[in-house]
């Protein structure tokens, strides 16, 4: 199961990140997640973290919202704006999909920015 391929969606218009349920399950169905950006490596990551974490970038997962649809929506203007800065040619009114891998040993999913693909409606 290590290195399982997953996707993450980013809606630039709504500053929304959609964490797919499959990805959530693969990183251990945590109560909290953290969104990370590594500008040098040009990757973003979603990492499971413990409740005791004092990080301001921690997002509590509402289990009730996870029961509907196929994804969990997180609104983060700062995260989306950071992606915008790191990637040329993104259309502000569009959504994009990132492809990545889950690393079970780290309870994280990592998405290289070079996998960004526009989602056509």
Q: What is the pLDDT of residues 37-63, one digit of tens each?
A: 999 999 999 999 987 556 557 888 877
Indicate the DSSP class of residue 83: H
Domain that holds residue 46: 4-118
Structural domain count, the chain: 1
pLDDT of residue 17: 93
CA atoms within 13 A on the CB side of 98: 28
User: d(Cα 31, Cα 74) in Å, to the nearest integer?
Assistant: 14
* Both structure tokens of 1: 């199961």
Its pTM stands at 0.86
Say if residue 18's pLDDT is above 60.
yes
Other C-beta atoms lying within 10 Å of the C-beta of residue 75 = 12
């Amino acid at each position: 199961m290590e290195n399982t391929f997953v996707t993450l969606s980013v809606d630039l218009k709504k500053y929304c990140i959609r964490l797919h349920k499959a990805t959530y399950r693969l990183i251990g169905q945590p109560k909290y997640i953290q969104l990370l950006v590594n500008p040098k490596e040009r990757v973003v990551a979603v990492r499971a973290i413990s409740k005791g974490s004092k990080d301001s970038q921690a997002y509590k997962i509402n289990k009730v919202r996870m029961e509907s649809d196929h994804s969990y929506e997180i609104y983060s203007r700062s995260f989306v704006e950071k992606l915008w800065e790191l990637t040329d040619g993104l259309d502000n009114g569009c959504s994009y999909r990132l492809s990545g891998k889950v690393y079970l040993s780290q309870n994280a999913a990592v998405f290289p920015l070079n996998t960004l693909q526009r989602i056509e409606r």
